[in-house]
Amino acid sequence: MTRRQILVVEDDAAIRTGIVDALEFAGYQPIEAGDGDAGLEKALRDDCDLILLDLVLPGTDGLEILRRTRAARPTMPVIILTAKGDESDRVTGLRLGADDYVVKPFSVQELLARIQAVLRRSPERPKALPAVDVPGGRVDFERREVRFTDGQRRELSEKEADLLQYLAGHAGRAISRDEILSRLWHISPDHVRTRTIDMHVTRLREKLRDDPAAPRVVVTVRGKGYMFGEGES
């Protein structure tokens, strides 16, 4: 069974080591970051199931990490770690979308119980789809090709296949360009101004025979991003 990965962003080495040891003993796979900049990079890049986030960090502070993570990865569960007297930070963190908080000093049992509770009520990450049906054909993600019922085939680039697979794996949810950049290109959207997502969508629609004037597979959701349309008109 694949172990669930938890990112621990904590600058106090002793606390971080204790959390990591507890997570490993409980069967999780921890990822560590000792400052805010490394924490933000891993929060946007790494494939984790939950983030334990200290708020007072060198470099990028915890609230900024939470704000930017929520913008790029809206469904990522986050538990904030706060000092006893930082009630205002806890309130701000919850308003920014944190799922829960733990006040230092905390017991291992309390921390693990809160992790389990948050993971239980959080949607599981969708599994990568091996293939998906589209109007007039089928996309094989392993082969990275579209096979149409008329016998024709079109090859997809790696990024085109990744993009369609990600959209199909999150069917029913509009995916922002920022989330796509963070999850598939591993680029912080704050540092990049690019139309690369739109260009890949244009090429993908062409290969899927998806009418750009009225797309049925890669649908534009105004003001939000793109969504897998499952072939519906």
CATH number of the domain encompassing residue 116: 3.40.50.2300
The verdict on 109 and 148 lying in the same domain is no
Q: Measured between alpha carbons, how far is residue 63 from residues 41, 88, 121, 155, 211 in Å?
A: 14, 12, 23, 43, 42
- For the chain, how many structural domains are there in total? 2
CA quadruple 176, 90, 117, 16: dihedral sign: positive
Shared domain for 139 and 186, answered yes or no, is yes
Pick the more confident residue, 232 or 88. 88
Task: Name, in order, each residue with C-beta under 8 angstroms of 231's C-beta and a sequence gap of 6 or more.
Answer: 133, 134, 135, 216, 217
- The CATH number given to whatever domain includes residue 191 is 1.10.10.10
Query: Whole domain around residue 155: which residue ranges?
Result: 131-228
Mean pLDDT of the 16-36 span: 96
**75 and 99 share a domain?**
yes
The mean predicted confidence, pLDDT, of the chain is 88
pLDDT of the residue at 232? 47
Last residue of a domain, one of 121, 150, 171: 121
> At which residue do the structure tokens 């890049």 appear?
45
85 within a domain of the structure (yes/no): yes
The residue ranking higher by pLDDT, 26 or 91, is 26
Examine the domain organization and report whether 117 and 136 are in the same domain. Answer: no
